[in-house]
Amino acid sequence: MTVQDFNVISNDAAIVNAWSDARSVSKAGDLKTDDIWLVKLQSGEKGAILVKRIVAGDDGEIEFAI
Q: Which helix (H) or strand (E) holds 39?
A: strand 36-40
Q: Could you tell me the pTM of the whole model?
A: 0.78
Predicted local distance difference test score (pLDDT) of residue 1: 84
Predicted local distance difference test score (pLDDT) of residue 26: 62
Predicted local distance difference test score (pLDDT) of residue 51: 94
Predicted local distance difference test score (pLDDT) of residue 19: 83
Contact (CB, 8 A) for 9 and 50: no
Q: Where are the domains of the chain?
A: 3-65
Predicted local distance difference test score (pLDDT) of residue 23: 66
Helix extents (H) in the chain:
3-7, 13-18
Task: Chunk the chain into consecutive blocks of 10 residues (it has 66) and report each block's average pLDDT, rounded to whole numbers.
Answer: 91 87 69 89 89 91 92
